[in-house]
Structure 1
């Protein structure tokens, strides 16, 4: 299945995964997930780790990954699935994970990787005591499903009898935990008398994406370090000091990211409206330029076509797209020739030369044999800007960005539409998993 289709679905289909008391799972896109997993189990679960994916979709991916057999998969793929599963177990809100594990129990999935996943979550979660207090019956049922009801209760009897050094207890229970002493105590808690109903924790113990701290008031200089530095440069600040700082901020942004083996054409709106005025002067243009600098570091070939002639003429987005599609354009950082794999239009949405022309051109290109994907990226001042009257091509795939933090989900969304995008996402998420701490401790 196409990586871009999977990623778009995971980003936009936000209905929560729910399990009723009668055991009915609300999973309206189950067939989509089954097909995506069957096509490429590893690529499917790694796509769920991409920034910007909806938490409800990550829960679905975890569920599908647990339900599916791994009998025919090679050992390296199984290892990646195990690492990704662990990241999802501790990177999702605990209530979502418990819903997934209860669904697995209802479906009677008894694969070995299910046993490992349930035991890991119940026994090794750093806040297991709080989770047990909130959802004791649910977690006890999950553990009994993983180990077998009789086996789990036999382990409890050995723990209560004090025979905790027996090989049998290790084989049946303790081999699934990184901290046997703590696991023994949690098994006792699962079967201890008491009530449940304490509010369950809502925050993941090891979030898959960093929690962003934002200023209460948005200005032109608190939308990321790259854009802020550019604003100071545009205002006439000392280039000798700001230039090296700018290069350093760009390097920090792309650190750890792989290079995309492909050719991106960037149609960059530099019109007067992108410059802005008053308190918002340079806000949009600096953010668009920050994206260009980032793409230049990550892409092997980047062509930039400016429209709007640096704030002096009308915005001709359609003309820029046609220029980008011309065969033989020389990329700025390469001597190679060729058509782009993707055309990215970056604009504030105002098309003041032949309004609607971009939409008409985009609709006509496939009929004359041009299949190069074209996407629209809209620069905003804040994430709450009204874009109702600023959509020059509603039929094109589109997204918006206003802060440097938005580049993390934006880059994979763009690259997924190129021939090398699936490999780029796979490499980037492999690096993410390798850098992620194996233990889920605070």
Structure 2
């Protein structure tokens, strides 16, 4: 009771917004060797365990962060009021294989308390894709199960699966099968993992079993799985045959947001203005429907210079994404002042500018600062081709004058793998790579935190949660 009361009191206390900003700054960077990030996770969990729970489903966080979150939700007293069921529900928001990789931290850290055991078994055996996980990642799933149950209990499971009895049936139901939505399929999967002969009815398990006899019958299984079977049962099969049986997934068409797609289509194909304007309004209404309004004065420097056109498969992607982000900001920040660099026209709802001209970021930054906004956002690819380095010098000068508003450099990136270090205008600029217009959520969350007091309430933390995690 005392522990529960402490958690309730903790949730009602204000939270230092610096914790959230620190998290946003580091969530895409692996935790390996970063002790300060590990400490940050503990402090964040202790300050707001309910908020921390929902970060498990953060689509932009590195896997190592989600694993650390799970460890803290299991171990830290501040999170003990959060039920195992709620943690499992958040893990199931993730793709099945990612959830398995997150849960495997229980085995790797040798966590063996009851909370971890129940949580892990509920996630694994209760998962609707338990057979698929077992078929594709048999070794990892088996090792995790053995850790959760313990060697002695796992040996008993294997024995009772191989030699059915009334006592064994009660044991299996008590230890494992009561977690499963379909006990028959769960039994088959456990037999497969334990190496006990059985007649599979699940198609994925049947395919995996058939591939032991004839590799061709495993067509469609993950390439890693087929190579594992080849190494054990079919060593004479050439690697080229494996690649043919499990071809690399065809490169999927890029899934841009509706506004980005519309701007890019209009730039490439030249849509009629009536059709373009109508689609723009309709797309904007849908895009902002789930976004809360953020109070504040924001200055946006929009780079529409020639380099924003890009080329090849990236053609017009930077400018299209930039225009989409500006439109969303204009509809979800109460005051937005726009300063445009380059472009054939001034951007508006009726006119669609084409990228042209040079990138004079320094002059535009100075003009934006004169309006004394609460924050400045530069949307640019970072190729400063007029007096390179002047933007950084201008910002340094603004700091010397006592202007402390945050200045962000938002880069409309094509993929997360892009190396952006050389395109970062300077260390004083907060770098925000954005690959999709959904990235506007993090931008709005940061602006919300910039405008908030140093200590934010539980209600304000829930608003940040809505911005970051609602999809």
Asked if the contact 2:46–2:78 (Cα under 8 Å) also holds between the matched residues in 1, the reply is no
Q: Tell me the SS of whatever aligns to 1:181.
A: helix
Cα pair distance change 1:127/1:41, threshold 3 Å: same
Displacement of 1:250 in angstroms is 3.5
The 1-side partners of 2:445 and 2:468 are apart by: 14
Displacement of 1:389 in angstroms is 6.0
Gaps of at least 5 residues in structure 2 are 1-17, 198-208, 213-220, 226-249, 346-354, 453-459
| TM-score in terms of structure 2 length | 0.64
Cα pair distance change 1:47/1:300, threshold 3 Å: farther
The 2-side partners of 1:80 and 1:288 are apart by: 37
Matched, 1:289 2:323: yes
Displacement of 1:175 in angstroms is 4.2
1:284-313: CA deviations, max 9, x gaps?
A: 433321221222334344332223475787
Matched, 1:399 2:432: yes
Matched, 1:115 2:154: no
What is the aligned partner in structure 2 of residue 102 from structure 1? 107
1:61 to 65, 69, 94: 69
Structure number having the greater helix percentage: 2
The 2-side partners of 1:250 and 1:191 are apart by: 53
The 1-side partners of 2:168 and 2:419 are apart by: 62
Displacement of 1:190 in angstroms is 4.4
1:243-276: CA deviations, max 9, x gaps?
A: 2222333444445444445443321123455467
What is the aligned partner in structure 2 of residue 427 from structure 1? 466
1:320 to 342, 357, 364: 364
Displacement of 1:412 in angstroms is 1.2
CA RMSD of aligned residues (A): 4.5
Displacement of 1:189 in angstroms is 4.2
Q: Tell me the SS of whatever aligns to 1:371.
A: coil
Q: How many residues align?
A: 385
Cα pair distance change 1:193/1:290, threshold 3 Å: same
Cα pair distance change 1:43/1:326, threshold 3 Å: farther
Q: Tell me the SS of whatever aligns to 2:271.
A: coil
Matches within 5 A, 1:206-355: 213-214=252-253, 225-231=258-264, 233=266, 237-274=271-308, 284-308=318-342, 310=345, 315-326=359-370, 339-340=373-374, 342-355=375-388
Matches within 5 A, 1:31-50: 31-50=39-58
The 1-side partners of 2:138 and 2:271 are apart by: 57
1:389-412: CA deviations, max 9, x gaps?
A: 6443344121344xxx52234531
Displacement of 1:387 in angstroms is 5.7
Q: Tell me the SS of whatever aligns to 2:93.
A: helix
Q: Tell me the SS of whatever aligns to 2:92.
A: helix
The 1-side partners of 2:363 and 2:419 are apart by: 26
Q: Tell me the SS of whatever aligns to 1:6.
A: helix
2:135 to 117, 130, 133: 130
Matched, 1:84 2:101: no
The 2-side partners of 1:86 and 1:121 are apart by: 10
The 1-side partners of 2:74 and 2:21 are apart by: 23
1:305-327: CA deviations, max 9, x gaps?
A: 22347578764434433443456
| TM-score in terms of structure 1 length | 0.68
Q: Tell me the SS of whatever aligns to 1:87.
A: coil
Asked if the contact 1:86–1:117 (Cα under 8 Å) also holds between the matched residues in 2, the reply is no
Displacement of 1:417 in angstroms is 5.1
Ranked by relative contact order (alpha carbons within 8 Å, sequence separation 6 or more), the top structure is: 1
Displacement of 1:376 in angstroms is 0.5
